[in-house]
Amino acid sequence: MTDLDAFITGLPKAELHLHIEGSLEPELMFALARRNGIALPYADVEAVRAAYAFSNLQDFLDIYYAGAAVLLTRQDFHDLAMAYFDRAAADGVVHAEIMFDPQTHTARGVPFSEVIEGLLSAIAEAQARHGLTACLIMSFLRHLSEADAFATLEEAGPWLDRIAAVGLDSSELGHPPEKFARVFAAARERGLKCVAHAGEEGPPAYVTGALDALHVDRIDHGNRALEDEALVRRLVDLGMTLTVCPLSNLKLCVVDSLDQHPIDRMLKAGLRATINSDDPAYFGGYVADNYRAVAKARGLSRGDLAQAARNSLTGSFLPGEAIAALCARLDAFVDAA
């Protein structure tokens, strides 16, 4: 391990943009397929990995939803999340806010209770095993209807006190934030925070829509906001956190190469950019791999990397005292490094 590797791993950091279904490694996909008697359209793990060549978001989503078909029981969701937490802890993640897509599972007849109880039991075990904290972001699939999102919010009723936020993901183009304004208002009335994918493939107007129609607390991705200077100023003035995902951006062709990744421009502009893995099993790296990749490609300094980690702590939904304690831990680590 180089000094820089050790610095990146040792930085106390939060992961704020992680789809738990996107952490399903091919090995676990095969193990769960066997356990549940499900046939996979791949001969082996290598064939699965070979299929992970995407030219846009939709290419990826088609394969990602197909992979999720092996997840049936609460034990499956527990095992999936524990595998992620073990990796996250090894990467220096002290807090994780993980998205899950209930509609991907309830549409296949998997009860909402199985999904969420499996995830909640993993969160408790991760806290005991690694001392890391985690919370849940229930994401609506934007290619589905407003009515379907409302039904999902309704179904989540008994667990709302154990869900931190609602999110918005899946196919961005053609599904602007405004489509979900009423669902997000209902979620906010129930005390939930709000996040939304915006500006990954969609235009800057979708980032504006996430602010004005959804009143989000964070923007997931936000890359295309950079095309609009006034919008960048607005995001800076708001102190809005952006959950940026470099390896995802590369694999989904949001950038042609990591050499062109805008993370350093974002940080220099004063945007509260963070570094995250999105769907690590599909994009070839967990959170520390993402830090390392942009450190190398964009020459980020230790100060930049520490700023990204600090942004992840201050942009989290943890209580203020917990954020202050983690920031003090980060400062002590940086001072000692």
List, by residue number, the catalytic residues.
200
Smallest distance from the beta carbon of 245 to Zn ion, in angstroms? 6
Beta strand pairing status for 93-100 and 13-19? parallel
The answer to the question of residue 169 lying near ligand ADE (CB under 6 A) is: yes
222 makes contact, choosing from ligand ADE, Zn ion, none, with CB < 5 to 8 Å by partner type, with none
Q: Which residue is nearest to ligand ADE (CB)?
A: 169
Q: What is the 3-state secondary structure of the chain? A: CCHHHHHHHHCCEEEEEEEHHHHCCHHHHHHHHHHHCCCCCCCCHHHHHHCCCCCCHHHHHHHHHHHHHHCCCHHHHHHHHHHHHHHHHHCCEEEEEEEECHHHHHCCCCCHHHHHHHHHHHHHHHHHHHCCEEEEEEEEECCCCHHHHHHHHHHCHHHHHHCCEEEEECCCCCCCHHHHHHHHHHHHHCCCEEEEEECCCCCHHHHHHHHHCCCCCEEEECHHHHHCHHHHHHHHHHCCEEEECHHHHHHCCCCCCHHHCCHHHHHHCCCEEEECCECHHHHCCCHHHHHHHHHHHHCCCHHHHHHHHHHHHHCCCCCHHHHHHHHHHHHHHHHHC
**Per-residue x/- marks for Zn ion, 261-300, CB under 5 A?**
-----------------x----------------------
**Per-residue x/- marks for ligand ADE, 69-108, CB under 6 A?**
----------------------------------------
The answer to the question of residue 22 lying near ligand ADE (CB under 6 A) is: yes
The answer to the question of residue 278 lying near ligand ADE (CB under 6 A) is: yes
The answer to the question of residue 179 lying near ligand ADE (CB under 6 A) is: no
Contacting ligand ADE (CB under 6 A), which of 15, 79, 200, 289?
A: 200
Residue count at the site for ligand ADE (CB under 6 A)? 10
**Residue 82, φ and ψ in degrees, nearest 5:** -65, -40
Smallest distance from the beta carbon of 12 to ligand ADE, in angstroms? 25
The answer to the question of residue 175 lying near ligand ADE (CB under 6 A) is: no
Return the number of other C-beta atoms located less than 10 Å from residue 37's C-beta: 7
Residue position matching structure tokens 């090995």: 27
The answer to the question of residue 15 lying near ligand ADE (CB under 6 A) is: no
Smallest distance from the beta carbon of 137 to ligand ADE, in angstroms? 12
Burial 258-295 (b: 16+ CB within 10 A, else e): beebbbbebbebebbbbbbbbbbbbbbbbbbbbbbbbb
Residue 115 vs 318, nearer CB to ligand ADE:
115
Residue 101 vs 278, nearer CB to Zn ion:
278
The answer to the question of residue 279 lying near ligand ADE (CB under 6 A) is: yes
Contacting ligand ADE (CB under 6 A), which of 24, 29, 57, 219?
A: 57
Residue 275 vs 334, nearer CB to ligand ADE:
275
**Per-residue x/- marks for ligand ADE, 210-249, CB under 6 A?**
--------------------------------------x-
The answer to the question of residue 314 lying near ligand ADE (CB under 6 A) is: no
Judge whether 186 and 150 are in contact, CB under 8 Å: yes
The answer to the question of residue 201 lying near Zn ion (CB under 5 A) is: no
Residue 240 vs 245, nearer CB to ligand ADE:
245
Smallest distance from the beta carbon of 34 to ligand ADE, in angstroms? 25
Question: What are the residues binding Zn ion (CB under 5 A)?
Answer: 278
Question: What are the residues binding ligand ADE (CB under 6 A)?
Answer: 19, 22, 57, 169-170, 197, 200, 248, 278-279
